[in-house]
């Protein structure tokens, strides 16, 4: 997941072309982190020591860890720890960048520092994105939004389900408070009861959403396509309603609705939009709360 955030930044500043980004993402998804890169990243070894062991591997039929232990650079416990981290998405992306010849380790660190500064990320924020843990990542994009707790809780639940059922490499942008939203395609469902909520997945990204969730192709965004997205929303809403019922909150789910013509959602109350990118295609998660919204 780290790669889709940092990779997009590298594209935006011209350090990666779209083709290079796609290739690096592809490689990072099918590789495992090399022991040397892991050891240097963890501070167990220096870059020079890792390069020395790599050179020795070219002359010996032995694993990196075994050679590093024999040289006294690593302990057996450290090797065991590193082996468990070979699926680290951050290091996989860094490794793919280096091996493709696009950027050096020094270049990556420089860009990473600039990325942190330009996105106003704290060290903890950056660690969260590196972790690929959606429960740590999503609060970064909900911060400073003045969204009520109920909205943040719902967004966090839907984000977890997008990772589980749609795309583990999803990318989110920061949530925005808006008053109107216009698009041609909307899959939606409303809650009524102690909370009045409108939940919509909006925009042309509905096609990718539907294909990933239903595991089938759609020629166009039509009612069948949007029905698959409505089914996903219904799953999320069912889980959310169950969670609220345990807190003695009374809430009911209304039947899903879909729109395939130019449609505007407007409200004088609270409406929030969270951009969501699946396979690089944008959808917007739109949530209206409490004050009656209008759909025209």
The topology (CATH level 3) of 134-295 is Chemotaxis protein chec (3.40.1550)
Which of 86-90, 140-144, 186-190 has the least mean pLDDT? Answer: 86-90
Q: Are 251 and 192 in contact (CB under 8 A)?
A: yes
**What is this structure's pTM?**
0.77
Closest CA to 93 of 1, 18, 8, 16: 1
Percent of the chain, pLDDT > 70?
A: 97
Q: Which residue has the higher pLDDT, 207 or 165?
A: 207
- The DSSP H or E segment spanning 270 is strand 263-278
Radius of gyration of the chain (CA): 23
pLDDT of residue 86: 66
Handedness of CA 13, 88, 168, 160 (dihedral sign): negative
pLDDT band at 58; cut points 50, 70, 90:
low
Residues of the chain with CATH 3.40.1550.10: 134-295
pLDDT of residue 49: 93
**How large is the average pLDDT for residues 121-143?**
88
Beta strand segments in 114-262, E: 171-172, 176-183, 186-193, 197-202, 251-253, 257-259
Average pLDDT of every residue of the chain: 88
Q: Is the pLDDT of residue 87 over 70?
A: no
**How large is the average pLDDT for residues 224-239?**
92
Q: Is the pLDDT of residue 19 over 80?
A: yes
């Amino acid at each position: 997941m780290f790669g889709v955030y940092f990779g997009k930044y590298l594209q935006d500043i011209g350090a990666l072309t779209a083709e290079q980004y796609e290739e690096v993402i592809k490689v990072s998804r099918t590789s495992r982190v090399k022991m040397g890169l892991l050891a240097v990243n963890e501070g167990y070894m220096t870059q020079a020591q890792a390069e020395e062991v790599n050179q020795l591997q070219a002359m010996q039929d032995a694993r990196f860890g075994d050679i590093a232990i024999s040289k006294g650079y690593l302990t057996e416990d450290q090797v065991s720890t590193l082996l468990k981290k070979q699926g680290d998405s951050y290091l996989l992306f860094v490794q793919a960048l280096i091996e493709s010849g696009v950027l050096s380790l020094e270049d990556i660190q420089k860009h990473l520092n600039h990325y942190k500064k330009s996105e106003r990320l704290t060290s903890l924020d950056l660690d969260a994105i590196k972790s690929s843990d959606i429960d740590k990542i999503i609060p970064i994009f909900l911060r400073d939004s003045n969204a009520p707790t109920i909205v943040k809780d719902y967004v966090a639940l839907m984000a977890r389900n997008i990772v589980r059922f749609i795309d583990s490499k999803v990318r989110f942008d920061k949530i925005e408070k808006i008053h109107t939203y216009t698009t041609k395609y909307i899959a939606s469902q409303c809650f009524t009861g102690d909370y009045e909520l409108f939940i919509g997945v909006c925009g042309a990204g509905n096609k990718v959403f539907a294909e990933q969730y239903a595991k089938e192709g759609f020629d166009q965004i039509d009612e069948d396509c949007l029905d698959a997205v409505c089914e996903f929303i219904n799953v999320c809403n069912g889980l959310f309603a169950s969670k609220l019922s345990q807190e003695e909150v009374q809430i009911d789910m209304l039947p899903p609705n879909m729109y395939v013509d130019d449609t505007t959602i407007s409200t004088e109350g609270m409406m929030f939009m969270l951009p969501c990118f699946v396979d690089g295609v944008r959808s917007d998660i739109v949530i209206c709360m409490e004050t009656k919204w209008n759909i025209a």
